[in-house]
Amino acid sequence: MDTQANLRKVGLKATGPRMRILELFFNSDGGHLTAEDVFKRLLDEGEDIGLATVYRVLTQFEHAGLLVRHHFETGRAVFEFNQGDHHDHIVCFQCGRVEEFFDDVIEHRQKEIAEARGFVVRDHALYIYAECTRTDCPHRPGE
Partner DNA sequence: GTATATGCAAAACTTTTGCATCCTT
Partner DNA sequence: AAGGATGCAAAAGTTTTGCATATAC
Q: How far apart are CA 128 and CA 52, in angstroms?
A: 32
Nearer Cβ to a copy of itself (40/69): 69
Residue 32 site contact among DNA, a copy of itself, none (CB < 5 to 8 Å, cut-off depends on kind): none
118 — phi, psi (to 5°)?
80, 30
Per rule CB under 7 A, is residue 12 in the interface with DNA? yes
- Smallest separation, CB 139 to a copy of itself (Å): 14
- What DSSP character marks residue 90? E
Q: How far apart are CA 79 and CA 49, in angstroms?
A: 18
**Contact string (CB under 7 A) for DNA, positions 70-99, x = contact:** -----xxx----------------------
Name which position in 8, 10, 110, 141 contacts a copy of itself (CB under 8 A): 110
Nearer Cβ to DNA (48/85): 48
Q: How far apart are CA 136 and CA 97, in angstroms?
A: 11
| Interface residues toward a copy of itself, by CB under 8 A | 69, 71-73, 75, 77, 90, 92-93, 99, 101, 103, 105-106, 109-110, 113-114, 117-134
